[in-house]
Amino acid sequence: MLETIRWWFSFRRNVNFWDWMKDNYSPPDLKRLANEATDCNLHEGWDPLGDQSMDQFIGSYELRRKTAKRLYGRYGADIWHVCLGVCDNTKDENLLHGLSRLELADKVDGPFLFEDFMLRNAMKRAANQILDDINNKHTHS
């Protein structure tokens, strides 16, 4: 419970998405995010034979949705900046063409899934960037 409250307050404490990521994730967590942030199915449905009841599944889905919406609302410009880093002016006709090359792009079919798709890709790319910065500090020390 206290961890959740600390996490929600971190939105106010951190000026940008990178600071928020550094504040909330340890290097092992960042490694996991770099590897697993887009390793999912955006259209996951409830499995009646799975570990969660229907109410638990709906609760976790709503929590994920609220979290993505809040992060996107607070750090939307940073999330776009990170994701647009994949765009290549020599190859892409427009920005959407560039975004279509991100992982999970073919799974997006609505506004919430677009926010989730952008957030997952931004977290993956930001985690890799932060880990590179950490590694560069250790090699130059």
**Which is more confidently placed, 1 or 55?**
55
Q: Say which residues have a Cβ less than 8 Å from residue 128's Cβ, sequence separation at least 6.
A: 34
Q: What does DSSP assign to residue 105?
A: G
36 located within any domain: yes
pLDDT for 31: 94
19 located within any domain: yes
Give the lowest-confidence range in 7-16, 18-27, 97-106.
7-16
Q: Give the CA angle between residues 99, 134, 40 to the nearest 5°.
A: 40
Using CA atoms, how far apart are residues 39 and 138, in angstroms rounded to an integer? Answer: 29
Domain count, the chain: 1
Using CA atoms, how far apart are residues 16 and 64, in angstroms rounded to an integer? Answer: 20
48 located within any domain: no
Percentage of the chain exceeding pLDDT 70: 80
The two structure tokens encoding residue 10: 């971190």
49 located within any domain: no
Using CA atoms, how far apart are residues 11 and 65, in angstroms rounded to an integer? Answer: 16
Q: Which domain holds residue 129?
A: 2-42+54-139
131 located within any domain: yes
